Structure 1
Amino acid sequence: MLRKFKIAIDGKEYLVEMEELTEGLAAPVAPPAQQVVQPVAHPTPESAPAPVTPEPKPAPKANATAGEGIDAPMPGTILKVLANVGDQVTANQPILILEAMKMENEIVAPKDGVVTAIHVTAGEMVNPGQPLITID
């Protein structure tokens, strides 16, 4: 999900676009296979190098939980948990406040649903990709 933020630094405003990455969406990319071609004086069908076929990419891992997990987008400290288990939330509703680099960042619900699990508490330090809340 692409999110836009307006940030003011030393009186100058900057528009910043950030993309939220979710764990398990993108499979690791393998380096491309290299094909070695050697010059041949008189190429024949038998001496031509065989084409290299790319290996199929593994399918992304399925989420173990039934709901959609919200992971920490950056390292920081949880200041406030604004939702409780069983709460009905709407898309883009703030559900957590994450402090990172002395800035308070709202973590919002990606979709409408019900909070089924909260994996963090106020005051807890989190790392990028760490599960925060699950919404079903």
Structure 2
Amino acid sequence: MRSHEITAELVATIGSVAVGVGDRVEPADTLVILESMKMEIPVLAEVTGVVREVAVRAGDAIGEGDVIAVIDTG
């Protein structure tokens, strides 16, 4: 089974998490909302698959390149 990591593109705080382990996602589905510089930035799924891991929780501080979620693409 192949997997796809979704990583952070900027330093931010996790505002909310929209998916859980086992959820099926499609490209453009919102995974989490990042908060940075008073803006809310959605992080979207890039592939179709099933969420294997959510590596963050609301309130977590993340840096560029940190893993947000892993999606199994089958």
TM-score, reference length from structure 1: 0.51
TM-score, reference length from structure 2: 0.93
Q: Structure 1: which 4+ aligned runs deviate by more than 6 Å?
A: none
Deviation at residue 109 of structure 1 after TM alignment: 0.1
* Structure 1 portions without partners, runs of 5+: 1-65
State the match for 2:68 in structure 1. Answer: 132
Q: Does 1:109 align with 2:27?
A: no
The aligned amino acid for 2:22 is G
1:89 to 25, 30, 40: 25
The aligned amino acid for 1:70 is I
Aligned residues: 71
Matches within 5 A, 1:1-136: 66-136=2-72
Q: C-alpha distance in 1, partners of 2:29/2:35?
A: 17
* Structure 2 portions without partners, runs of 5+: none
Larger Rg: 1
